[in-house]
Amino acid sequence: MLQGRITNAPHVPRARAFLDGPSMVQNPIRVFESYRAQYGHTFSFHFGGAKPAIVSTDPAFLQRVLQKNQTNYNKSDIQVERMGEFQGQGLLNSHGAAWLRQRRLLAKGFLRSRLTRMLPMQLEILDELMTSFDKEATRGPVEIRQQMVRFTLRLVGKSLLGRSMGDAELQEIGDAISQIQEFIVRQIVQPYKIPWFQLSGQSAHYQKIRRDADRIVLRHIQAQRGEEGGDDDFLRLLLDTPCEETGEPMSEEQVMIESLQLMVAGNETSSNALSWIFYLLARHPDHLARIRGEIDAVIGDKPLDFEALHALEKTLQVIDEAMRLYPPFWMVDRIALEDDEICGIEIPAGTMVIPYIYGTHRNPAFWSDAESFDPSRFDPDRRKERNGFAYIPFGAGPRICIGNNMAILQILMIVTSVVRAYDFELLTDQPVGIRPMMILRPDGPITMRFRRIARA
């Protein structure tokens, strides 16, 4: 009973998993890393002491779950139930025919041609953000994650919901995202407390926060009905494009759900990735100088454009290495529909399977000197030597993050704009810890000093 063995993988005793519950609330990665050090690439345990789960950092295991046999692995109730409770049922927490239908439609909003058409609008917003950022940086040190949340909230929010979305509205939505995400994580790692959350009124409190954010988005959706949109108008795409099966467009409620889910994922992914990128560049000024030289050579003082941004090879390698060390999606979760076997590990039907991306990215069996910051790992020749599933910061397979190309474009825009304008440094040498939420955040502020570069 105390062991609760699930499969033939090395197993964390059930009693230990239960006792680790409070630590899982504080930092599940720290708990997972202790298990990985003791039990190896793949191990089983009871999530929250209750839910049977198999965790793996083996790229071959991840590839089987996320790609080769992905039809056998649905998203778990973490996303279908817990996230659905506060975000509705949309692309991110559906599966089967409903997921495929929404994926095909929403993918049209992230085509390269559409991202290219959206770029002038995003650069205009970025110029406004940089002007505001310069005023704050001139006054003194700034907290970089707070700044990056502001940058990406406006870029993602106005890309998805339209230029008419006010900054105060975006901030209210951003605050709601953060509060609800923390509550969802508490339910995930301590599922036995869900009845108490409901009885104590905590669930109702966060539902009200969700409804207030919903109303903001719904107002803009309804306003779009009476306006003409351009080719780069994402809301117009959702409102007007008919479903292939029914010939009818999405309802306003479904448009709201999809828009908010994409905004949550987009803002959280980009803002946290950028925070870690600037943190690592400040700790490694040699790489900062290297990518500044590349930016000067490729772009100089010319306006940014799609082709030039994607020609920044060294800059892209820095971004890749930062997301290896601090992957936005630090884990994903699935439920096995039928029995399976992966790398000799038996997977019973109904078991939660967790591709543990953070652990995979730092697994010394697949990365030499795995804890160090080394962007040269992503030189083309070295990249070819690795299993592609050893590096999957946006997930992988058919359910890879649908907005990953937009996220990389916005990250490139912001990194390029800041690096060619400023030198920067951390106010302290104290390392910044991690805070695993739905997305991997810094555990506390990253305060930095920025000094504008005098250019010829």
Report pLDDT digits (tens) over 306-320. 999 999 999 999 999
* pLDDT tens-digit series, residues 336-388: 999 999 999 999 999 999 999 999 999 999 999 999 999 999 999 998 888 99
For the chain, how are helix, strand and coil distributed in percent, rounded to 5?
60, 10, 30
| Distance from C-alpha of 421 to C-alpha of 423, rounded to nearest angstrom | 7
Q: What is the pLDDT of residue 279?
A: 98
Q: Cβ(122)–Cβ(410) under 8 Å?
A: yes
Are 282 and 288 a contacting pair, CB within 8 Å?
A: yes
Amino acid at 188: I
Of 34, 5, 63, nearest to 355 (Cα)?
Answer: 63
Give the per-residue pLDDT at 368: 93
The DSSP H or E segment spanning 425 is strand 422-426
**What's the pLDDT at 440?**
93
> Tokens at residue 110, please?
């992230």
Residues 6+ apart with CB under 8 A from 369: none
- From 230, 212, 415, select the one nearest 321 (Cα to Cα): 415
pLDDT of the residue at 250:
79
**Residue ranges of E strands in 258-351:** 334-336, 340-342, 345-347
Domains with residue ranges and CATH for the chain: 14-452 (1.10.630.10)
Q: Residue 86: its pLDDT value, please?
A: 67
Q: What pLDDT is stored for residue 1 in this prediction?
A: 43
Place of tokens 């080719």: 231
Residue numbers of the chain with a pLDDT score lower than 50: 1, 456
pLDDT of residue 56: 97
Q: Specify whether the CB–CB gap between 125 and 160 falls below 8 A.
A: no
